[in-house]
Each structure stands twice: as structure tokens, then as C-alpha cells.
């Protein structure tokens, strides 16, 4: 949307969806139809609004009260999907619970996939399950932790106990749970447990979504006119005005950064970021002044765990 003399004039919304069967190695090469899901670039909604406002001026000394202009660009994109599969640790060939050696097993999920968002902190991972003589899961030695920008953080004992109990109840196979552990959503509404030996899990491809993209850029222009033919424009520009991190996907979307990311022990679902701030002022030429706030997100996860990006 553009205001020139307070008249709106530009706006660009987009609304669509994208489905396909392609996104790295399939879980079962003999059944590629099972891979049909939201594509890695499936952003359902995009909106870009541009506004420019010429501030009414007043004639005065040195044109100080005239020639001012304010600009803004607002960008929004709905969340992109990302995928998770079992195929890194302790591989190769990975856990290969399904027995296909595809290195892309998808686990079982109970609860809504929306409870597993990607972000600055990972999704808690629980390990230490055991199997007793009767073939039942025991949870006495289970610990749960998640990764943050400050390192690994253990869950409180009560939360870890509740997560372990639910994972044990949901697990399709005590033996694969012992090897793979499980993931518990932060809201306690959903859990990921390994598929049983010789079987596939119920997770579909690209069922997870990131947190979307929201951004505001602004600038202020000052125009000086000399006679009728000449002019100078000074600009002050700020990118990502609120300077908030925009985390990249752990894997699976056009916005993921490193195809080797591990959705692992603690860092499953996390995306680390790096921020840089640059202030640049030309020493002698004051015709242009810029402030660039650059935020780069690197969806990098480190460590070992049974669950890894499929592909």
C-alpha cells in the first residue's frame, strides 16, 4: 500500500498451497504415493504491504521543514513445513526399525503436530527407557532435556516423569523405545515414539510447521532541491525494525539453512541464530546514512540422537 499525498495505491497478497511427492528419500521406495504431502515450499499465505508518505512541508530556512518522506515495508508469510526422519544415529544404517534400510523411517505421533514447532529452544527428548523380564517398559532411569542457546537444560523431575509415562503408554514397541527414546512437546499434548520393528510409523511427510515470517522495514528520506533541475536525497534505513530473530527450519522448507542439520537428542526442532548489527556512516558524504540491522538465522543442530532430517 502506498500513500502519496495520503492516497493509498499498492498492496500484494498471495493465497495458495503446494503439494507434491518429492522431498528427499522416501520412507518406502515401493510406495512413493505415501510421500504425497505439503511441499517444502508450501507457504499458504503471503502478504507484502508498502507504504510511502510525503509529509506536508513548510517553507523555511535551509528546507529543514520540507521534503521529508516516511516509507515502510511490511512482510508476512505463513509457516513452512518441515520433515523429520530416523536415519543418522547410530548409523549408518541408522536404527532402521522398519527394516527397509531406506534411512528415512518416520515415527509415531500422538497428539497434534502443531505442538512441535521449531524455534530457539528444542523439543524435549527423553532417554533411558528399559525393558523388564516381562517385556514391559520401565521408566525409572529416564531423563529428559532440551537445548537452548545456553546449552542443554534438563526438564524438572515431575515433567520428565509425566513425559516418560506417556511415552511408555504410547510406544508401539518397548524395544525400539529403549533404543530411540521419545520426544515430548512442551505443552504436554503430543509425543513422538519410534515405530515398531518391521513396521512404519503413522507420521506423514512434512507434518510440522515453523513459526512463519513477519518483518517490518522502515526508512526516512530527506529531499533537498536546488533550482529546478537538481536535488539530493539523504536516507536513513532500518531493516528488521524490531530486531527479532527469524529462526530457519531445522529441515525441509525453502528456508532451511543446512541440509545436514540433526533433529537430535536435545536440539530436535531448534534453530540457532546469529545476529549482526552494522552502523555505517560515510565519513565525508552525508548524502546517505544507513543503519542496517541484519539478522541471520542458522538452523543448525549439533549432537547425536536417533531422529534426523529425512534426506
pLDDT tens profile 182-223: 999 988 999 999 999 999 999 988 888 888 889 999 999 999
> Where are the alpha helices (H) located in the chain, listed in sequence order?
157-170, 174-180
- For residue 274, pLDDT over 60 is answered with no
Q: How many domains does the chain have?
A: 1
Q: Which three cell numbers stand for residue 49?
A: 504491504
CA distance 46 to 29: 34
pLDDT at residue 14, as a whole number: 65
Tell me the per-residue pLDDT of 30-87, one tens digit each, with 9 for 90 and over.
888 888 888 888 888 899 999 999 999 888 787 888 889 999 999 999 888 887 777 6
Residue 292, in any domain of the structure: yes
DSSP string, 261-289: ----TTTTTB-EEEEEEEEE--SS-TT--
pLDDT in tens, 166-182: 999 999 999 999 998 99
pLDDT at 40: 81
CA 17 to the chain's CA centroid: 18
Tell which wins on pLDDT, 229 or 278: 229
Query: For residue 24, what are the domain limits?
Result: 11-298
pLDDT at 130: 96
Q: Is the peptide bond before 92 cis (omega within 30 degrees of 0)?
A: yes
Phi-psi region of 111 (alpha: psi -120 to 50; beta: other; left: phi over 0): left
In a domain, 309, yes or no: no
Q: How far apart are CA 110 and CA 84, in angstroms?
A: 15
Residue 237 lies in a domain: yes
pLDDT of 63:
83
Q: What is the pLDDT of residues 4-20, one digit of tens each?
A: 444 444 666 666 678 87
Q: Confirm whether 18 is domain-assigned.
A: yes
98-137 tens-digit pLDDT:
888 887 788 999 999 999 887 777 788 899 999 999 999 9
Tell whether 214 is covered by a domain: yes
In a domain, 2, yes or no: no
Does 95 or 305 have the greater pLDDT score? 95
Please check whether residue 5 lies inside any domain of the structure: no
Within a domain: 303? no
Amino acid at each position: 500500500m502506498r500513500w502519496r499525498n495520503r492516497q493509498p495505491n499498492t498492496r500484494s497478497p498471495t493465497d495458495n498451497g503446494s503439494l507434491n511427492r518429492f522431498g528427499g528419500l522416501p520412507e518406502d521406495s515401493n510406495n512413493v504415493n505415501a510421500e504425497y504431502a505439503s511441499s517444502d515450499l508450501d507457504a499458504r499465505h503471503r502478504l507484502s504491504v508498502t507504504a510511502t508518505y510525503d509529509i506536508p512541508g513548510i517553507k523555511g530556512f535551509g528546507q529543514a521543514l520540507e521534503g521529508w518522506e516516511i516509507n515502510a515495508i511490511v512482510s508476512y508469510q505463513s509457516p513452512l513445513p518441515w520433515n523429520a526422519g530416523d536415519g543418522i544415529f547410530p548409523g549408518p544404517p541408522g536404527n532402521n526399525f522398519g527394516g527397509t534400510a531406506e534411512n528415512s523411517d518416520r515415527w509415531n505421533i500422538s497428539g497434534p503436530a502443531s505442538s512441535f514447532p521449531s524455534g530457539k529452544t528444542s523439543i524435549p527428548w527423553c532417554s533411558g527407557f528399559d525393558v523388564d523380564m516381562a517385556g514391559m517398559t520401565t521408566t525409572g532411569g529416564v531423563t529428559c532435556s532440551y537445548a537452548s542457546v545456553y546449552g542443554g537444560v534438563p526438564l524438572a523431575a515431575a515433567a520428565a516423569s509425566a513425559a516418560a509415562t506417556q511415552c511408555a503408554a504410547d510406544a508401539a514397541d518397548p524395544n525400539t523405545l529403549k533404543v530411540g527414546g521419545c520426544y515430548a512437546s512442551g505443552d504436554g499434548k503430543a509425543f513422538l515414539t519410534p515405530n515398531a520393528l518391521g513396521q512404519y510409523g503413522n507420521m506423514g511427510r512434512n507434518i510440522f510447521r515453523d513459526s512463519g515470517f513477519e518483518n517490518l522495514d522502515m526508512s526516512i528520506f530527506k529531499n533537498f532541491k536546488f533550482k529546478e533541475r537538481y536535488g539530493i536525497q539523504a536516507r536513513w534505513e532500518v531493516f528488521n525494525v524490531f530486531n527479532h530473530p527469524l529462526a530457519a527450519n531445522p529441515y525441509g522448507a525453502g528456508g532451511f539453512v543446512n541440509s545436514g542439520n540433526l533433529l537430535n537428542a536435545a536440539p530436535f526442532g531448534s534453530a540457532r541464530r546469529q545476529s549482526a548489527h552494522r552502523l555505517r556512516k560515510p565519513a565525508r558524504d552525508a548524502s546517505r546514512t544507513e543503519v542496517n540491522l541484519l539478522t541471520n538465522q542458522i538452523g543448525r543442530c549439533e549432537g547425536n540422537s536417533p531422529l534426523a532430517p529425512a534426506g
